[in-house]
Structure 1
Amino acid sequence: MFTDDGTRWGLARRLLHDDTLATADRVAGLLVVLYGQPISRIVRLTTDQVSQVDGQVRLMLGRAPLTVPSPLDTLLLELVRTRRGRASLGHTVNHRWLFPGGLPGQALHPLALGKRLSAVGLPGRVGRNTALLDNAAVLPAKVLADLLGLSITSAVRWTALADPSGNAYAAELARRAHDPR
């Protein structure tokens, strides 16, 4: 399932600028609608995957760091500073999870995050698929895989889907013939 650009970008604007929403929900939603990240991967993100280098915020979703643009960079750093679990007993700050869960030391469950994102208007895979398709239309499969944490096979499929003429797929096959890894 896919969503139209107006809906996707409207949701992205809301997540970027609506201060009434929880920072965790805003960041998670933006990771879905901008970078096509699955909820199951988002809940496993840790503070170790967020860094600041030369004034830029970077997020490791795959093998290569993704430079996070403003104002998402500010939201991501705010989440690192303010993340709290919902446990009623035990310590909820002694963990590395960006999205801590209800039990001390545990990440938020993907179903719980899915419900939270649905509540802010982001249903299931719709935003994710559209984000992946849009990114695949402008990035080579290898870059897509390295930045977003996709397998090369999945990245090639998304790139081929984004380019129905098959030019991107043919280019990837030619690259593989010269660079067998």
Structure 2
Amino acid sequence: MGKTFLKLGQARLWIPPRLAELLHQLADAPRQRSALTRTLTDQTPWLFPGVVPGQPLSRKASNDQLVHQGVHTRAARTAALIALATDLPAPVLADLLDVHIHTALKWARHAQRDWTTYLTARAGGLADTAEPRQP
């Protein structure tokens, strides 16, 4: 089996072989779908089809299903956003994630990307410790 990629929007994500095998099994498995969401052909390009015919499973519904199975993603998502905010300027982050620039700026501040707050606090802390204290 060759390399497997999962297309997310315009991005292609390489999938490790064992996970790729499981995803192929999922894609080939017959789907139990309600009569309300079936189409005449019942052919969908989505690995995780949503309730609305022809649409993928929503992010919230996907997350709800993961949480129901005991998979909590909030910590990993937060860590990934902080890592991106550390490495990318806010305008690039906003464009990449399709979020408002103010949201990207908040993540950049949270990540302390420019370190000025840290350096200012550190300089103040060093100045305080450099001078002997009077009783």
Query: TM-score normalised to the size of structure 2?
Result: 0.51
CA change 1:94–1:166 in 2 (3 A) is farther
Alpha-carbon distance in 2 for matches of 1:132, 1:99 = 24
1:82 aligns with 2:27: yes
**Pick from 59, 64, 68: which aligns with 1:115?**
64
SS in 2 for 1:150: coil
SS in 2 for 1:134: helix
Q: What residue number does 1:151 align with?
A: 100
Query: TM-score normalised to the size of structure 1?
Result: 0.41
**Pick from 7, 10, 13: which aligns with 1:68?**
13
- Cα deviation for residue 120 of structure 1 reads 4.2
- Cα deviation for residue 70 of structure 1 reads 4.6
- May I ask how many residue pairs the two structures share in their alignment? 105
**Pick from 133, 136, 142: which aligns with 2:85?**
136
Amino acid at match of 1:158: W
CA contact (8 A) 1:137 1:159 kept: yes
Q: Which runs of 5+ in 1 are unaligned?
A: 1-54, 168-181
CA contact (8 A) 1:85 1:103 kept: no
- Cα deviation for residue 139 of structure 1 reads 1.8
Alpha-carbon distance in 1 for matches of 2:72, 2:94 = 24
CA change 1:161–1:123 in 2 (3 A) is same
Q: Matched residues, percent identical?
A: 32
The CA RMSD measured in Å over matched residues stands at 3.8
Alpha-carbon distance in 2 for matches of 1:134, 1:150 = 16
The higher-RCO structure (CA 8 Å, 6+ apart) is 1
Q: Which runs of 5+ in 2 are unaligned?
A: 118-135
CA contact (8 A) 1:101 1:107 kept: yes
1:160 aligns with 2:105: no
